[in-house]
Amino acid sequence: MRISIITIGTKMPPWVSQGVKEYSKRMPRELKVEWKELPLAPRGKTSNSSQLKIKEGEQILRSIPAGDRLIALDVRGKSLSTGELAEQLSSWQMSGENYSLLIGGPDGLSDACLERAERRWSLSDLTLPHPLVRVLLAEQLYRAWTITVNHPYHRE
């Protein structure tokens, strides 16, 4: 199984890259996590956030591997506890299908991305900065996996 995390924005602080790399390398071979960073749409003084979101959404949709099931990270989505995420991850693994998780740019995901996704997932009711979302997502995927294999990383 493969999880592709497709995200807008390429210039992350070193701590983000290090955090994502650390948790991604801890994942087992049978649960491969790939990160695809796409550039922000060019911004200027007269930029329209709706148009930027559409352009970024088009980039995201073009980069989704064929056949992947889509999950959009969206503040208006359904929240999951860590245990629920572990159950979901186990279900994804049992399905044998690949998934793409979509993270929008500063203006969020386009309507086209949200409509194409089969589910919307909210990491928090809080507004989180995009760099932190990446590290948080990487850690939570790792934590969920450890729960599924009874690894001692997660303690309740």
3 state SS of 69: strand
Q: Which of 25, 10, 29, 156 minimizes the C-alpha distance to 83? A: 156
User: Distance (Å, rounded) from C-alpha 5 to C-alpha 18?
Assistant: 16
5 secondary structure, DSSP code:
E
10 annotated as a binding-site residue: no
19 annotated as a binding-site residue: no
122 annotated as a binding-site residue: no
126 annotated as a binding-site residue: yes
46 annotated as a binding-site residue: no
Helices (DSSP H) in the chain: which residue ranges?
A: 14-26, 49-63, 82-95, 111-116, 130-148
123 annotated as a binding-site residue: yes
- Helix/strand/coil percentages in the chain, nearest 5: 45, 25, 35
CA angle in degrees (0–180, nearest 5) for 20-21-25 = 120
Q: Which two tokens stand for residue 75?
A: 């503040």
124 annotated as a binding-site residue: yes
132 annotated as a binding-site residue: no
Question: How far is C-alpha 135 from the geometric centre of its chain's CA atoms?
Answer: 10
Q: List residues forming the annotated binding site.
A: 73, 104, 123-128
Q: Which segments are annotated as binding site for S-adenosyl-L-methionine? A: 73, 104, 123-128
